[in-house]
Structure 1
Amino acid sequence: MARRDDEQADSLFDTQAEEAERANAPLAVRMRPRGLDEVVGQEHLLGPGTPLRQLVERDTAMSLLLWGPPGTGKTTLAYVVSQATRRRFVEISAVSDGIKQVRAAIDQAKTELGMRGRQTVMFVDEVHRFNKAQQDALLPAVENRWVSFIGATTENPFFSVISPLLSRSLLLTLEPLGDDQLRAVIRRALADERGLAGVTSLTGPAEDHLVRLAGGDARRALTYLEAASYVATAGEPIDVDILEKAVDRAAVRYDREGDQHYDVISAFIKSIRGSDVDAALHYLARMIEAGEDPRFIARRLIVHASEDVGMADPTALQTATAAAHAVEFVGLPEARINLAQAVIHLSLAPKSNAVVRAIGEASADVRRGLVGPVPAHLRDAHYKGAQKLDHGKGYKYAHDFPGGVAEQQYAPDVVAGQEYYHPTKHGMESRFSEVVERLRAVLRGTRQD
């Protein structure tokens, strides 16, 4: 009887300790969803019939790799999976733990499985930080299903996770939360008993600013909200001023749907076009700090690279495209560096609008109806009966001629001799100016040796 009383006392003590630990936990931890239905966002992974939901509902042994930007719910999903399937949850950080901790966790999981029949979810955060030997140590547990392995990474797993572990895991890609989803997370934390329990509120402008600051990161949103709740006095709603004091970030007056959006991006592009690198960097920073979609900025840089730099520096397009890829692979805040590099390159590059003028003039002729028939010698001659129509007759194969260029008409008669591309003397385009002149002379038979 005394033993039973001791066990009940220990259980009560453990429960009280757990409640005290939860009460002192950060808001983002306290508001961690208790089931799949409470998870905000990631509908493509959690909808009816999706692989993840099927695995959870069928309580199947699984190995998952969760790939996505910070704050998209990787840790949350791992925790929810363990709760929904009633499995032990063991978290390992690849930043601070090594092979010793991994092997100890695997041994404990094997003991739990053998003695109690209880599965363990082993969550490895930042798994890409493990080297090859450390990732290899996970393979026996994954292969033999001693654990349900869930790895989280912000890096491309095809480059950062070893192939054997990648091939044994279901790869799930998480997306940044949208504005409406962030608002749902914030409002739930304000009202929920586990969160702020209605003791404070958030003004509309402050909520807008918090969403911008979060940048698709739910954990950041809740961290900032909690900090602001400490600054606000009892019963006082959290406004923009309080939020600015709490997170030391001034609100950038910027409406992604209003005039500021168009004015700032216009000034941004015109500053690059005008070669004012400092002004361009100012507007870039302004957009990033205001929470502008970095993919939108990257797309504008790609367009600008051809529209205003073009052949004066052909590498500008490569740099802009590389920055866009960096935004997709890395995400903010790190990708701001890649965007800044592209902005500096484009700002300092020699400028030419010859490319956009060329396609504009060609399109104008087409719209005016100057679309004559393709010259017979250029038409497709590979099908049966084409020769009877003289298709391909007289065509000169360019590689059979000196320099790989033959005197020959390529354009329809209605635009023969029309010149659309007018290269400038700026940067590398000055070289292309000479090339174009020589090529046109050969093609038209006007070259003078």
Structure 2
Amino acid sequence: MDIFEYQAKEAAKASMPLAEKMRPKHLDEFSGQKHVTGEGTLIRNAIEQDKIFSMILWGPPGCGKTTLARIIASETSSSFTQFSAVLSGVKDIRSVIQDAKNRLKLYGKKTILFVDEIHRFNKAQQDAFLYHVESGLITLIGATTENPSFEVISPLLSRCSVITLNALSSDEIAAILDRALQDSKNGLGDLGLIFNQDALSHIIRISDGDARMALSSLEIAASLIVTESNAIKKEIKKYITIEDVERAVQKKALIYDKSGEEHFNIISALHKSMRGSDPDAALYWLGRMLSAGEDPLYIARRLVRFASEDVGNADPGALRVTIDAMEAFRFLGRPEGELALAQAAVYLATAPKSNSIYAAYKNVKNAVKKKGALPVPLHIRNAPTQLMKNLGYGKGYKYAHNYKGAYTTQEYLPEKLKGSRFYVPSERGYEKKIKERLENWRQRKKT
């Protein structure tokens, strides 16, 4: 390499985004995803034994899909070729395949072909890989944010292992940002920047588990600070404030602490707005939580709980709606999946309300606590053996389906709880019908 090539290379490196400069080069530097890169895992063993298999890396943006693919190539004896599904067609695929053939023939070196956004390839483009993956000419590593079961053709999917990657945790994002601030060679270590805690928390929230977004936000904030401070020197410490981050990302930090008082205040506001049948307030508090970076699945779990606690059998369909909303979010992710949560919140707010199930179960727990383990009445005990039958197990049991309306008078509670009523249905929604049915059965018990 002559001096001009060296200078060009250094200039190109200097213009790289911070996220690219800080990209880990080795597996031990890789953040998160210990379930697939930790000791004894499939990928680590494959790297250590230099036996890489074709795989689809499925995960949200910024979780490390491209980085992991590059590490796999660099730590094995394979050549690495990166390919964009957005910019390439079948002709480009054929060219890559020919290069792989030449590389194997001339140098005996295998090719790892990394296809970013593989879900954007159509069937014909994916078919073009099929034979060469099967023959072993190329080891395919595809990356996708979409469910590969729906976006990758079955023949190709069956020849690849699907590796699921998760969004990075808050601690993992914090560690990545701290490393960027400390690294003088590739990061911002020469600038002497230090995070204020609220500024760090804001970047973590808005990045939503995306390391690329977090590093980009840090880079912009640092650039603004350097410009205003006339090229800070390392010995002069400068704090990155919440105001710096807000200007960098053009997004105001909402007062919200996932583990603090405001978190519980807002989830309480959402819960009480739905209980009070106010869909507008419910949507507002839901939006506040999502905008502040709350885990959408935490919110989904609260909606499921509300469906049983505050709607119950007044609208039995509410539970199904909330479960469906949670699954829809799992399938769509952010931001599209947020609409499913909004739909569920409005449904719950406008549904008829009843806490009868909640109250009944609370009364049952109190009864169990006070009365202890009461014996099961003999006539409703299971009697699989002759000895049990001789002891009176199951004797006198009335099989409900043998009676008119599949109902007959019979006691099912322990003797000490005989006549107890735990469940008292309301007059609202479907529970009104349940109440009428129960009153009918209880009248028949009296006669």
Q: Distance in 1 between matches of 2:443 and 2:120?
A: 59
The structural deviation recorded for 1:33 is: 0.8
Q: 2:73 aligns with which of 78, 82, 93?
A: 82
Residues 17 and 405 of structure 1, relative CA distance in 2, 3 Å threshold: farther
Q: Distance in 2 between matches of 1:416 and 1:243?
A: 65
| Residue 101 of structure 1 pairs with residue 92 of structure 2 | yes
- Aligned partner of 1:5 in structure 2 is none
Residues 130 and 428 of structure 1, relative CA distance in 2, 3 Å threshold: farther
Structure 1 portions without partners, runs of 5+: 1-7
| Residue 187 of structure 1 pairs with residue 178 of structure 2 | yes
| Residue 198 of structure 1 pairs with residue 190 of structure 2 | yes
Q: 1:297 aligns with which of 293, 296, 299?
A: 299
The structural deviation recorded for 1:14 is: 5.0
TM-score computed with the length of structure 1 as normaliser:
0.91
| Residue 284 of structure 1 pairs with residue 276 of structure 2 | no
- Aligned partner of 1:419 in structure 2 is 421
- Aligned partner of 2:163 in structure 1 is 172
Q: Is the 8 A contact 2:177 2:214 kept in 1?
A: yes
SS at match of 1:385: helix
- Aligned partner of 1:223 in structure 2 is 216
* Per-residue deviation, residues 300-341 of structure 1 (Å, max 9, x unmatched): 111111101111111211121222223434433333222212
Q: 2:154 aligns with which of 154, 160, 163?
A: 163
SS at match of 1:138: helix
Letter of the 2:338 counterpart: R
The structural deviation recorded for 1:229 is: 2.2
| Residue 265 of structure 1 pairs with residue 278 of structure 2 | no
Q: Distance in 2 between matches of 1:136 and 1:439?
A: 64
Residues 228 and 357 of structure 1, relative CA distance in 2, 3 Å threshold: same
The structural deviation recorded for 1:76 is: 1.0
The structural deviation recorded for 1:358 is: 1.2
Q: Is the 8 A contact 1:200 1:229 kept in 2?
A: no
Q: Distance in 2 between matches of 1:20 and 1:146?
A: 36
Q: Distance in 2 between matches of 1:380 and 1:294?
A: 44
Residues 403 and 227 of structure 1, relative CA distance in 2, 3 Å threshold: same
Q: Distance in 1 between matches of 2:439 and 2:87?
A: 64
Letter of the 2:40 counterpart: G
* Per-residue deviation, residues 401-442 of structure 1 (Å, max 9, x unmatched): 232222322222222222222111222222222222234444
Q: 1:351 aligns with which of 349, 353, 363?
A: 353
The structural deviation recorded for 1:15 is: 4.8
Residues 390 and 436 of structure 1, relative CA distance in 2, 3 Å threshold: same
| Range with bigger deviation, 157-166 or 77-86 | 157-166
Q: Distance in 2 between matches of 1:309 and 1:116?
A: 69
Letter of the 1:116 counterpart: Y
Q: CA RMSD in A?
A: 2.1
Q: Distance in 1 between matches of 2:441 and 2:320?
A: 26
Q: Distance in 2 between matches of 1:103 and 1:371?
A: 72
Letter of the 1:199 counterpart: L
* Per-residue deviation, residues 241-298 of structure 1 (Å, max 9, x unmatched): 1111111110111122221121111112111111122222222222222222222211
Q: Distance in 2 between matches of 1:310 and 1:300?
A: 14
Letter of the 2:304 counterpart: I
| Residue 213 of structure 1 pairs with residue 206 of structure 2 | yes
- Aligned partner of 1:137 in structure 2 is 128
SS at match of 1:368: helix
| Range with bigger deviation, 159-168 or 67-76 | 159-168
The structural deviation recorded for 1:46 is: 1.6
Structure 2 portions without partners, runs of 5+: 233-237
Residues 88 and 21 of structure 1, relative CA distance in 2, 3 Å threshold: farther
Letter of the 1:195 counterpart: G
- Aligned partner of 1:3 in structure 2 is none
Q: Is the 8 A contact 1:33 1:76 kept in 2?
A: yes
Q: 1:64 aligns with which of 55, 62, 83?
A: 55
Letter of the 2:319 counterpart: L
The structural deviation recorded for 1:39 is: 0.8
The structural deviation recorded for 1:372 is: 3.6
Q: Distance in 1 between matches of 2:80 and 2:287?
A: 41
State how many pairs are aligned: 436
SS at match of 1:198: helix
* Per-residue deviation, residues 189-210 of structure 1 (Å, max 9, x unmatched): 2232222243252322211111
* Per-residue deviation, residues 171-204 of structure 1 (Å, max 9, x unmatched): 2221221111111111122232222243252322
Residues 219 and 397 of structure 1, relative CA distance in 2, 3 Å threshold: same
* Per-residue deviation, residues 81-125 of structure 1 (Å, max 9, x unmatched): 112225332222333433333333222222222222222221122
Q: 1:152 aligns with which of 99, 121, 143?
A: 143
SS at match of 1:20: helix
Percentage of identical aligned residues: 46
| Range with bigger deviation, 313-322 or 365-374 | 365-374
Q: Is the 8 A contact 1:361 1:420 kept in 2?
A: yes
Q: Distance in 2 between matches of 1:160 and 1:36?
A: 28
SS at match of 1:103: helix
Q: Is the 8 A contact 1:370 1:414 kept in 2?
A: no
- Aligned partner of 1:91 in structure 2 is 82
- Aligned partner of 1:126 in structure 2 is 117
Letter of the 1:203 counterpart: N
| Range with bigger deviation, 224-233 or 322-331 | 322-331
- Aligned partner of 1:373 in structure 2 is 375
SS at match of 1:137: helix
Q: Is the 8 A contact 1:371 1:412 kept in 2?
A: no
Letter of the 1:333 counterpart: P
Q: Distance in 2 between matches of 1:17 and 1:326?
A: 49
Q: Distance in 2 between matches of 1:430 and 1:96?
A: 61
Residues 99 and 406 of structure 1, relative CA distance in 2, 3 Å threshold: farther
Letter of the 1:98 counterpart: G
- Aligned partner of 1:396 in structure 2 is 398
